Amino acid sequence: MYDDYGQFIAGEWRRGSGPQSIAVCDPGNGQIIGQITAAAESDTQDALRSAGQGLALWRETLAWQRADILQAVAREMVADGAGGRADDLPGKR
């Protein structure tokens, strides 16, 4: 299930290049539900490079455009049920 996930770098999910695995746990009960491959230094460097490029683009975007983008993302999150309500968290019912 987690083979396609690990690090989200430069707009895509990719496996880490590190030699170790990391357990993925269900935060509601602590049970291990999968494994991902850890990042290597090269993954970290790629992520930092990509973040720097993204920051440069974001900095050039006008404030009203950034606001429109963030509001659109918030609308999608609410529509997808990710509104961030504490009552919806596991163990809070």
Identify the pLDDT of residue 60.
Answer: 96
Q: Tell me the whole-structure pTM to 2 decimals.
A: 0.65
User: 19: which 2 tokens?
Assistant: 């030699």
Identify the pLDDT of residue 34.
Answer: 86
With contact defined as beta carbons under 8 Å apart, do 2 and 35 qualify?
yes
Quick check: helix, strand or coil at residue 36?
strand
Identify the pLDDT of residue 89.
Answer: 46
Neighbouring residues of 20: CB distance < 8 A, sequence distance ≥ 6 = 37, 38
Domain ranges of the chain: 7-82
Going residue by residue through the chain, which has 93 residues, state the pLDDT in tens, using 9 for 90 and above: 566 668 889 999 888 999 998 888 999 999 998 888 899 999 999 999 999 999 999 999 999 999 999 999 999 888 877 655 545 544 443
Q: Is the dihedral of CA 40, 41, 42, 48 positive or negative?
A: positive
